[in-house]
Amino acid sequence: MMQNEETHSLSDSFVFRYMKEEDIDQILKIEELSFATPWTRQSFENELNLNQFAVYLVLEKEGQIVGYCGMWLIVDEAHITNIAVLPEFRGQKLGEGILRMIMEVAKKRGAKSMTLEVRVSNTVAQSLYRKLGFMNGGIRKNYYTDNYEDALVMWVTI
């Protein structure tokens, strides 16, 4: 299991580790390139420093953070808060690698299931989630505040 200061390699050039506060500048760049309503610095600071349920992983290549994923782990349920990869690194199965790693961390910490929300229009992400066993669980109407798009709720037993 990945411990708090451990790293885990995806390949020779990609390394997973837990997010640190000094990573936030790079994370904000990925957020801004990935989401219509990116999280703020304060949101990430709160997650890292105040939220006892939060676990965030980063994927690095030669010191550059190329992707990350966060979850809340409450009792035996994990909820993915966000996952993103820099646009220039997409299409290399890195998102899949990050998601597999956070699923492994969640399982080793006692999670029995995992959930997430995804835009109903984001068929690329939905395809990845289905590949890893996620199933449709319902719709959250008008979930996204930028355009009131519905979210598809997905679940997987881990």
Q: Which position has the token pair 């229009």? A: 121
Q: Determine contact, residues 119/147, Cβ cutoff 8 Å.
A: no
As given in the structure block, the two tokens for residue 97 are 């690698």
Catalytic one among 31, 47, 56, 129? 129
Residue 148 appears among annotated catalytic residues: no
User: CA-CA distances (angstroms) from residue 158 to 68, 81, 127, 133, 153?
Assistant: 20, 17, 18, 9, 16
The DSSP secondary-structure symbol of 39 reads P
Catalytic one among 117, 144, 148, 149? 117
Q: Determine contact, residues 8/16, Cβ cutoff 8 Å.
A: yes
| CA-based R_g, the chain, Å | 15
Residue 129 appears among annotated catalytic residues: yes
Question: Which residues are catalytically annotated?
Answer: 117, 129
